[in-house]
Amino acid sequence: MALEDAKTQIDLAFTGPGRGLAFENAFGGATSTFRRRYTKDLAGVDLAITGVPFDQAVTNRPGTRLGPRAIREASTLQAFDAPYGWGYSPFDEFTVVDYGDLPFDYAKVADFPDALTAHIRGILASGAGSLALGGDHSISYPILKAHAERFGPLSLIHFDAHSDTWADDDLTRIDHGTMFYKAVKTGLVDPETSVQIGIRTDNPDTLGMTTLDARCVHERGPGWVAQEVKRIVGTGNCYLTFDIDCLDPAFAPGTGTPVWGGLASWQAAAILRDLAGVRLTGGDIVEVSPPYDTTGATAVAGAHVAMEIVALYGWTRRKA
């Protein structure tokens, strides 16, 4: 069936149905995330994937504005099959679309956060969940504002090399290292039910969030880590943010602030899969910077993380 479909399917980004796997040649056609249909019509949509090509808040190397495009291209390899190990096909059971990128004026940086909050607010108002492809990590704060407006204070599941809780009480600053300090201080995130995974840079003040650092993952193992995360976040609404630099630079060199000693791809995959059951309102994948990775491996990792978040989002919403 797949071979027959591959002979006829093309440009599913525009012509594809709302559900079902896609067998268009990975190397051809218009590129959308997982070959999902591009649309601005969210009627009946379960999950909207949107790109946020913003990288003007970085402390080191830029380039993550090109992340959404690279993740979309890499994701075409995952459109043929249900995600391994989940036992179900999210694209058969749910309507997932590519909502395109956030439009914004790159020369008016101060206007960007509100534009992003409004963009995500519109997705959530339709009843769909949101999955954002970044972009630098500062995008998580405006996104969390929209989610907290709709769902109340959230538990944060945060994969990263950095805690991103450095003190910053100036809400007009846009910085990819302080947004979770602001998220806690403004009540968007409940630190007591939030957890950070893979941390390996020094910042003593975690604002009460639990830290399961990279060494903990290596020594305790992904299975233990996932169960601990589920214990901490409980049954309430949570938001998952995955900074690609949570992975060791050996697995994800294309990022702005690489730190050695990080998670291997298999560890991240196992943790994400074992998180099945947490109730996500949405998530993001950030800090994929294609210019620093000629192999494309970082974008491939980002696309796989995106697929796991799709599967996680659908898991608690399955009619079965």
Q: Residue 307 in contact with residue 35, Cβ under 8 Å?
A: no
Interatomic CA distance for residues 121 and 133, integer angstroms: 16
| Closest residue by Cα to residue 178 from 133, 140, 132 | 140
Residues making up the binding site: 137, 160, 162, 164, 243, 245
| Closest residue by Cα to residue 225 from 175, 282, 252, 263 | 263
| DSSP structure string for 64-102 | GGGHHHHHHHHHGGGSSSPPTTSSS-HHHHS-EEEEEEP
CA 153 from centroid of its chain's CA atoms: 19
Interatomic CA distance for residues 133 and 225, integer angstroms: 25
| Tokens representing residue 50 in the block | 């949107």
The runs of H, that is alpha helices, within the chain are 2-8, 12-15, 67-75, 90-93, 112-125, 140-151, 179-185, 214-220, 222-233, 265-274, 297-315
Residues making up the binding site for Mn(2+): 137, 160, 162, 164, 243, 245
User: Three-state SS for 6?
Assistant: helix
